[in-house]
């Protein structure tokens, strides 16, 4: 059977990007076959290049987020450098930027301006807190957004909140930018028009916190920080074993509980015991014994 081309072969993406959110979004596009031209600063390039040297002398974040791309360094404050970017954009299908708030607009590289000039272009603005509002001008580093969105309120232990061990806010924004570009490409295929895509780290991560939000709004209390355990599912944790180790159990529904009781623990009566037979009963039992 003939090998199919990658889905985005023939698509050109220009990205004025740095750190994680925009680079991770455009890396998804590169993985699907798009040509991604990454524009970096002339004074050291994408600052994520300097995070560490763990990946054979290169920064691990940078290697993770930038495979499969082409790169050039331009001074966008120099009219000659800005002219180069504009020529690249004129021939591109997608433009992505995550500059500091207001910087893209001052350069005429914001989504609204570019889409007005290039109707077929899909232009993506990725920001920390959105294009307007009281937080628009604030620095939006991943840990700060994890706090503002409430992620740390449900991550950690009862004694201590912790941030996620990965840049969750950056990744959330990147994936919504990625899906937004794909949707806009489909629309352009039927209408001939591209259009703007706007994504903020705060809104993206807040969407991922839908379960704790609904739990709090409708249940009256926020989910507790439970370490490896789950606030509303049991058994779901790391449990001590007789040999001093720990075993991870994740039971998603009552049928799995019955199979665990019968086939793993050899205790089929637990599958029908009212104290354990339903997830709600197991959660209540756990809370009584904690």
Question: Residues with catalytic annotation?
Answer: 170
Largest Cα–Cα distance of the chain, in whole Å?
77
Distance in angstroms (rounded) separating the CA atoms of residues 185 and 93: 9
Q: What is the DSSP string of 100-164?
A: STTHHHHHT-SHHHHHHH-TT-EEEEEESS-SSSTTTTS---HHHHHHHHTGGGSSB-SS-B---
Q: Could you give the C-alpha distances from 83 to 77, 80, 119, 120, in angstroms and in order?
A: 10, 5, 19, 20
Distance in angstroms (rounded) separating the CA atoms of residues 27 and 114: 22
Distance in angstroms (rounded) separating the CA atoms of residues 152 and 41: 33
157-164, Cβ contacts within 8 angstroms, sequence gap of 24 or more: 157/225, 157/226, 157/227, 158/224, 158/225, 158/226, 161/225
- Compute the Cα dihedral for 215, 254, 288, 158 and give only its sign: negative
């Amino acid at each position: 059977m003939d090998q199919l081309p990658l889905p985005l072969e023939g698509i050109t993406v220009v990205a004025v990007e740095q750190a994680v959110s925009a680079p991770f979004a455009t890396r998804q596009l590169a993985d699907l076959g798009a040509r991604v031209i990454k524009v970096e600063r002339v004074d050291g390039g994408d600052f994520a290049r300097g995070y560490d040297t763990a990946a054979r002398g290169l920064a691990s974040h940078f290697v993770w987020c930038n495979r499969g791309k082409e790169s050039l360094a331009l001074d966008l404050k120099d009219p000659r450098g800005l002219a180069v970017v504009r020529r690249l954009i004129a021939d591109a299908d997608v433009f992505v930027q995550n500059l500091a708030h207001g910087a893209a607009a001052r350069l005429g590289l914001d989504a609204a301006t570019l889409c007005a000039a290039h109707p077929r272009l899909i232009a993506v603005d990725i920001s920390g807190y959105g294009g307007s509002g009281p937080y628009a001008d604030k620095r939006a580093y991943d840990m700060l957004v994890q706090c503002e969105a409430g992620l740390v309120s449900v991550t950690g232990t009862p004694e201590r909140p912790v941030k996620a061990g990965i840049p969750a806010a950056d990744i959330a924004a990147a994936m919504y930018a990625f899906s937004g570009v794909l949707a806009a490409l489909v629309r352009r295929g039927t209408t001939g028009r591209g259009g703007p895509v706007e994504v903020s780290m705060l809104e993206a991560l807040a969407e991922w916190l839908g379960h704790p939000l609904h739990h709090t709004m409708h249940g009256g209390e926020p989910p507790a920080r439970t370490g490896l355990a789950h606030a509303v599912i049991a058994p779901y944790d790391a449990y001590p074993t007789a040999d001093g180790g720990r075993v991870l159990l994740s039971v998603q529904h009552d049928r799995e509980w019955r199979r665990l009781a019968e086939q793993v623990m050899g205790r089929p009566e637990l599958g029908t015991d009212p104290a354990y037979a339903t997830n709600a009963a197991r959660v209540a039992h756990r809370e009584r014994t904690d």
